[in-house]
Structure formats: C-alpha cells, structure tokens
Amino acid sequence: MLILQIFKRTDNRGWFVLLLISVAVGISTLTRIALLIKSSSSIDFTVLNVPGIFLFGFFYDLFNAAYVIVPVVLYLWLLPSKLYRKVWHRHILYGIFFVFTFLGLFNAVAEWFFWDEFNTRFNFIAVDYLVYTSEVIGNIQQSYPIEWIMLAIGIISLSFLFFAKSQINRSLVLALPFRQRTKLVGIYLLVLIVITSSVTNKQHRFSDNAYVNELSGNGLYELFAAYRNNELDYDQFYARIDNKKAFYLLHKMIQTQEAKFTNSKPEGIDRTIANAGEEKRLNVVLISVESFSANFMAAFGNDHGITPFLDSLTQHSLLFTNLYATGTRTVRGLEALSLCVPPTPGQSIVRRPNNEHLFSLGSVFNAKGYESKYIYGGYGYFDNMNYFFANNGYSVVDRSAINDEDIDYENVWGVADENLFELALTEIDKSSVEKPVFAHIMTTSNHRPYTYPEGRIDIPSHTSRDGAVKYTDYAIGKFLKEASHKSWFRNTLFIIVADHCASSAGKTELPVSKYHIPMLIYSPGNIEPGKMDRLMSQIDVGPTLLGLLNFSYSSKFYGYDIFKLEPGRERAFISTYQNLGFIKGDKLVILSPQLKVESFQVSGNNDQVKTKADRELVNEAIAWYQTASYSFAHGLLR
C-alpha cells in the first residue's frame, strides 16, 4: 500500500526513480525496434515470435533498468530531506538524469555497431573487448566518427532533459521520512535479489530463430551475464556421460593406424605416432590469416576477385576444401592450431590461467631440433598471446621488435601485414642458419577498421572488408615472392589457413557455413599440388602437417592426420563460447548449457532441420568435449 501511495504521486523522490526507469526502458525498446528493422530479412515473423520479442524484451529491459539505477536509489535513500529539497539540489538531479540518459543512448549506439559486426547482443566478445580498452577505443576511433556520435548523443540527452525538467522539479516537493525510504529501498533490493537469483539470460531464448532470441534480450544485461559466465564448468552446465565411458569412447575415436597408446590410465591419451619413411626436416611457416572465410576465394565461389594471389596459388598447392574453424575468435584459432584440442566452453585456453607447459605443436618441433617462433604484428599482450606462446614452447616476436621507421602503416591492432612479413623474413633468416624453423605468423590487417597502406591494391584503405582481404592477399603474395629468393625457400613448407571466419552469425545458433575456412599447403618440390575434400577440423591441421613431414613423435593431440584416417571417421568441431557443435557426415549435434542437447540434419545449402537425437552420435559429441574439458582441468594436456 505504501509503495502504491508513493509511486502514484509525482511529488517525491520515488517519481524521479520512475523517470529514470522509463528512460532506460524506452531507449532499450527503441534499440530493439531499430535492430528488428535492420535484421528483418533474417527474422521469422510469426504470431509467437513478434509478441515474444517485445514481451520478453520488456521484462529484461525493466529488470536491467532496475539494476543499473541501484546507485541512484541508494543515493536518494541516504540523502536527508533537508538537502534533497534544496533549490541547488535540482541541478544535481538534472546532472544525474543527463548522465543516465547519455549512457543509455551511448549503450544503444554501441549495441548498434556491435550488432552490425556480430549480429548479436553484447556477449563474451564484448567482455573480452572491455579488458583491452586501449585497442578497442583505438579501433572505434579509427572505424567511426566518434566525436560526431558523442556530440549527437549529448544533444539528444540535453533535449530529453529539457522536456523532463518540470517532472524532475515536481519530484522535489514531498519529503519522505527516512523510515519510509528505508522500507521502500529494502523491498526494492529484496525484489531485485530474488529476480537476480531466478532469472538467467537463457529464459528469453524461446524461438528456433537465433535473431529472435537475441532481440528478446537486453544488451547490457547480456554483457553482465557473459562476464559472469566467462568460464563454464563442463560437468555443471553440459550433458555428460560417465567419465570412464567418455574416455573409453575417446580412445576408440582417436585410435588410428599409426598410433599406439602409451599410458595405461583410463584417462591417458598419450600415444606414439609412427610414420613410415624418412623424416622431412623442412622449415615450416604457418600463416594464420585474420578472419579469412572460405567464401572470399574464387575456389569457393567468390567472383569479386579479392584474393587474386591466393587464387593463383591454389594451382600450385595442396588445397583443403572442407575445413572448419573451431570458433569465432582469434584465440580459438590459435588454440586449435597450437594445441590441436576441441574447444572447451567459456574462455579459450589461450586466455585461461594455468595454461603453461601444455603439449603443443611448438613442443613437437622443438623435440625435433627446430626453433619455434610465434610472430605477431600487434602487441602480444592482447588476448594473452605472448604469455601463452612463451610458456608453451615458442619464442615470441611481436610489434615491439619493429622499429618505427620500418613501419609503412599501423593501426590499433598492429602493423600492416607486409611489415609483419618483413619481420618474419628477418626472423627466419636469423634462425635458419643453425637449425630448421617453425614460424607461426598471425596477421592483423583483415580487421575493422580495414586500413592499410594506400597504393598497394585497387581498393582504397578504410573502405570495406573486401579491401582488407585483398590487401592481406597482396601482402602474402609479396612475402612468398621475397621468400622465393631466400636460401631456405626450397626447404620450406608454407601453410596458409584462417584463424576463423569473418562472420559467425546466422539464423541458427551454429550456422555451419560460417565456420568454413580455406587452407593451402605450398612447397614446390616437396608437396604435390592437389585437393583434399574430406571433412576436417582445425584441430587436425597440426597432426596432418606432422604426417606430411613423416614425423614420428609422442602425442597428446586430439586431432587426426587426415591422410592416414580411414574414410567415414571424419568429424569437425564448431563453437561459440557456450554452444559446442559436433559435425559428422550431414549431422550436427549442439551441446549447450542447462544440459541442452539438440540434433540437426545439415543440407547441402547449409539449412539445418532439427531431428531426433541419435544417442550414439550424441555420446560421441559428449565424449570429445567432456574429456577435453577434463583433460585441461586435470593437467592431462601438459
């Protein structure tokens, strides 16, 4: 009764709280409408989806608004009535209203740009970006007219304040006694605690259409939910089977003709890999290309001519046509290429604590007398890359090794790819004198803001992703041309592969086509040109590479040498930070939090139709992911 009496009136501080909540919910609703219009071609407009978007959306907007104004509520609770009703205090309330409105509009603009990039609300990627504020702020400044955007937000916020001033002034009339305020705040906080403990960011996912589910949420709430869930305990959140059964199945699945188990423990995956023939002690240069989807290349249907060099190189390389990235972030690609392990839920292992001394591709090469290097054009503290590689068998060379006068161009992510490759040539020259080299080079230019040196290609810098792709293609071509004049070129194997695709969004939670990446292996005189069309995971790249070199070695890898694998055993892994996908044949199994398991039939045009779960296939998916999570958590990958 007390609450109704207070909030029915407009002459007390409770009315100011309602004003702020109304502004927050209003901005969130307008944001939802704008994103709905933007994505209308991908949304199923059904009698359930459309009301669901706005009903669920209103609830999450209201909950989020009530949550973010807690500091204001506490301030209004503690401020004595004598001060609250002072004439000067209205200016403080004006300031609070302005700042609150400004931040709400700023969040809306940020959501728009995030949606434009990823087709989702704020998620785990946004959490990662908040950790690296200098890179992200630099990227925003280079990508968007941020000054004009901030000015526009400021003007709109002042307009809101102008129309709300009379309502704010009215809220200063009535003095609420401290006892009444305490009762109200107590009830408010109690309700908030109850809702917080019972509401998750999964309860608005009522539709089979991923866009509908995203629009039903609230961006800021999703951001905090992603932060809270950045590391997920597999056993707690995902469908599982008995651990012994999981490892029994895994042993059957990773047993190959060239492998022999050497660890008698049920959880042991240690094997010796014995490849016939003389070992080829070739230098190995692995180029992982930022955000490089298969459909950028002519070999996969692109007719824009944005990869002329790589298109020509396919005629002289071993081209892998059915390869899938494990995730949607660079760190996932680096994890797959270096550790050859399926993605585990939450953070990539590259970003996790206790990720030192793991069995890696670098450690295999080191055991063969190679020098392993990770070469990156940005500052390697980003995404914990320097720490991870330095503690797992690689020496790290990053942007700090390049003199400023040797840089043609750089943006916040790193130097232009041609400068990165110049650094790589110097490092390989230096190391290859005494021993063979394994160099993993990570590019950066194919990344928003899509900037690069002018005059290299026929698309102006800062124009589009097509230009960034074409510039990276140019830089790789220049690198291989310069490498061809080096003494070590004839004894070098070059691998060009993506870290992940340029976009992972689609109508479904895990659109298979959005994980399709290319790979070329080029080594004139050592590797015969051809095509490998079998289904392959990014975690298979390492074992396949070692097989091409005829290396015999001890292994803890989960990946296959695709050339030694019997037909019919191919599989691939795709994931977001929460959803874990397992592809085998034309079937896709998705494991999600809350023990959720879904099965789909994937057609040739990548449509996904939900099907009845195949228990055997589901158990295989669980075994791969459950054992990978267990192995990392219990130090079995060391």
- 309-313, 459-463, 485-489, 493-497: least confident range: 459-463
What total number of domains does the chain contain? 2
Q: Quote the strand ranges of 306-454, DSSP E.
A: 318-324, 371-376, 395-397, 410-411, 414-415, 437-442
What does pLDDT average to over the chain?
Answer: 90
Question: Which of residues 530 and 170 earns the better pLDDT score?
Answer: 530
Rounded distance, CA 393 to CA 395, Å?
7
Is residue 17 domain-shared with residue 101, that is, in the same domain? Answer: yes
Interhelix angle 49-68/70-78, rounded to 10 degrees, is: 40
- 19-23, 173-177, 388-392, 430-434: least confident range: 173-177
Q: Please name which of 360, 321, 239 lies closest in space to residue 637, comparing C-alpha atoms.
A: 360
Question: Is pLDDT at 583 greater than 90 in this prediction?
Answer: yes
Whether 593 is in a domain gets the answer no
pLDDT of residue 195: 85
pLDDT of residue 85: 83
pLDDT of residue 309: 98
pLDDT tens sequence across 543-570: 999 999 999 999 999 999 999 999 999 9
Whether 607 is in a domain gets the answer no
Domain with 92 in it: 2-228
Domain boundary (522, 542, 563) is at 563
Cα 395 off chain centre by:
25
pLDDT > 70: percent of the chain: 94
pLDDT of residue 136: 63
pLDDT of residue 3: 47
Q: Please name which of 398, 342, 397 lies closest in space to residue 575, comparing C-alpha atoms.
A: 342
- 44-58, 360-374, 532-546: least confident range: 44-58
434 falls in which pLDDT band (50, 70, 90)?
confident
pLDDT of residue 252: 95
Question: Which of residues 360 and 67 earns the better pLDDT score?
Answer: 360
Over range 558-586, report the average pLDDT.
Answer: 94
Question: Which of residues 353 and 534 earns the better pLDDT score?
Answer: 534
Is residue 218 domain-shared with residue 303, that is, in the same domain? Answer: no
Is residue 521 domain-shared with residue 427, that is, in the same domain? Answer: yes
Q: Please name which of 571, 574, 558 lies closest in space to residue 247, comparing C-alpha atoms.
A: 558
Question: Is pLDDT at 105 greater than 80 in this prediction?
Answer: yes
Over range 583-590, report the average pLDDT.
Answer: 95
Question: Is pLDDT at 37 greater than 50 in this prediction?
Answer: yes
Question: Is pLDDT at 301 greater than 70 in this prediction?
Answer: yes
CB of 588 closer than 8 Å to CB of 581: yes
Is residue 201 domain-shared with residue 315, that is, in the same domain? Answer: no
pLDDT of residue 128: 61
Is residue 84 domain-shared with residue 184, that is, in the same domain? Answer: yes
Is residue 153 domain-shared with residue 289, that is, in the same domain? Answer: no
Whether 176 is in a domain gets the answer yes
Whether 267 is in a domain gets the answer no
pLDDT of residue 4: 46
Domain boundary (496, 528, 563) is at 563
Looking up tokens 């190391």 gives 431
Local structure of 599: helix, strand or coil: strand
Which helix H or strand E contains 609, and what residues bound it? Answer: strand 608-611
Is residue 305 domain-shared with residue 194, that is, in the same domain? Answer: no
Domain boundary (530, 563, 596) is at 563
Rounded CA Rg of the chain: 28
Rounded distance, CA 248 to CA 258, Å?
19
DSSP letter (8 states) at residue 529: -
Is residue 73 domain-shared with residue 167, that is, in the same domain? Answer: yes
Question: Is pLDDT at 1 greater than 50 in this prediction?
Answer: no
Is residue 215 domain-shared with residue 319, that is, in the same domain? Answer: no
Pairing relation of β-strands 259-261 and 271-273? antiparallel
Name residues whose C-beta falls within 8 Å of residue 426's C-beta, 6 or more positions apart in sequence.
none
Instruction: Say which CATH number the domain at 520 has.
Output: 3.40.720.10
Over range 457-474, report the average pLDDT.
Answer: 94
Question: Is pLDDT at 218 greater than 50 in this prediction?
Answer: yes
Over range 25-34, report the average pLDDT.
Answer: 94
CB atoms within 10 A of CB 125: 18
Over range 326-342, report the average pLDDT.
Answer: 96
Is residue 314 domain-shared with residue 206, that is, in the same domain? Answer: no
Question: Is pLDDT at 246 greater than 70 in this prediction?
Answer: yes
DSSP code per residue over 342-375: ---SBS-GGGSSS--S---HHHHHHHTT-EEEEE
Tell me how many degrees the CA angle 210-515-580 measures, rounded to the nearest 5: 60
Question: Is pLDDT at 474 greater than 80 in this prediction?
Answer: yes
Whether 617 is in a domain gets the answer no
Question: Is pLDDT at 227 greater than 80 in this prediction?
Answer: no
Question: Is pLDDT at 98 greater than 90 in this prediction?
Answer: yes
Q: Determine whether 103 is exposed, middle or buried from the number of CB atoms within 10 Å of its CB (0-12, 13-18, 19+).
A: middle
pLDDT tens sequence across 109-163: 988 888 887 777 887 667 666 655 565 667 677 777 888 999 999 999 999 999 9
Is residue 470 domain-shared with residue 366, that is, in the same domain? Answer: yes
Whether 53 is in a domain gets the answer yes
Q: Please name which of 112, 99, 111, 107 lies closest in space to residue 154, comparing C-alpha atoms.
A: 99
Whether 387 is in a domain gets the answer yes
605-609: Cβ within 8 A, 24+ apart: 606/511, 606/512, 606/513, 608/508, 608/511, 608/512
Over range 192-203, report the average pLDDT.
Answer: 84
Whether 596 is in a domain gets the answer no
Question: Is pLDDT at 532 greater than 80 in this prediction?
Answer: yes
Is residue 194 domain-shared with residue 317, that is, in the same domain? Answer: no
